[in-house]
Amino acid sequence: MKKVLIVVDMQKDFIDGSLGTKEAVQIVDNVAREIKKDYDFVICTRDTHYDDYMNTNEGRHLPVVHCIEGSEGWKLNPAIEEALSSRDQGSYMIINKPTFGSEKLVEVLKEADKKEPIESITLVGLCTDICVVSNALMVKAAFFETPVKVIPDCCAGVTPETHEAALQTMKMCQIDME
């Protein structure tokens, strides 16, 4: 597994649902094209909450119900699903994550790296300023000597300003912009 693409939370609720933005809608085709490129493996994360969301720490800070497991808003965008299905079987996986950064994602990458060293890790998706930056920093901490990249045109934040701020934070942490 030489080149890995991580697609963060390209779900309906973040694109055109309860937390959607026009910027998120605008990156869908870019992300779908990126998934179809020559990556050895693609990992999609899926923000996953449950009926008790409003009683969780996140729900108290962000009181907007979203990505409830099994709901329409929880599902990956159809263009993203189509791009994944165009890949060879076994060349991608989907990881549900209950919070911003995914410990399971890092574990999956570490296991894969033991079998065949990972040469580069690229991240795309939503939201740049919450889940993309969280996962990028976790991945960079776990794979300090591996090039970790983010593609700004395949990411969108809660606002354009916080998107740019997150990109700057990642640059300061030696995450490359492609």
Per-residue pLDDT reduced to its tens digit, 36-63: 999 999 999 999 999 999 999 999 999 9
Domains for the chain: give ranges and CATH numbers: 3-177 (3.40.50.850)
Q: What is the mean pLDDT of residues 131-150?
A: 98
**pLDDT value, residue 1:** 64
Tell me how far apart the alpha carbons of residues 121 and 148 are, in angstroms, rounded to a whole number: 5
**Alpha-carbon distance 69 to 50, whole Å?**
6
Which residue type does 88 have?
D
Please, is 117 exposed, middle or buried when counting C-beta atoms within 10 Å of its C-beta (0-12, 13-18, 19+)?
A: exposed
State the average pLDDT over residues 134-139. 98
**pTM of this prediction?**
0.97
Where do the DSSP E strands lie in 48-156?
92-97, 120-126, 148-156
Separation of alpha carbons 6 and 73, rounded Å: 20
Mean pLDDT to the nearest integer, 114-137: 98
Task: Look at residue 139 and tell me whether its pLDDT is greater than 90.
Answer: yes
Question: How do residues 11-31 score in pLDDT, each as one tens digit?
Answer: 999 999 999 999 999 999 999
147-174 pLDDT, tens digit each: 999 999 999 999 999 999 999 999 999 9
Write out pLDDT tens, residues 88-110: 989 999 999 999 999 999 999 99
Residue 132, pLDDT score: 98
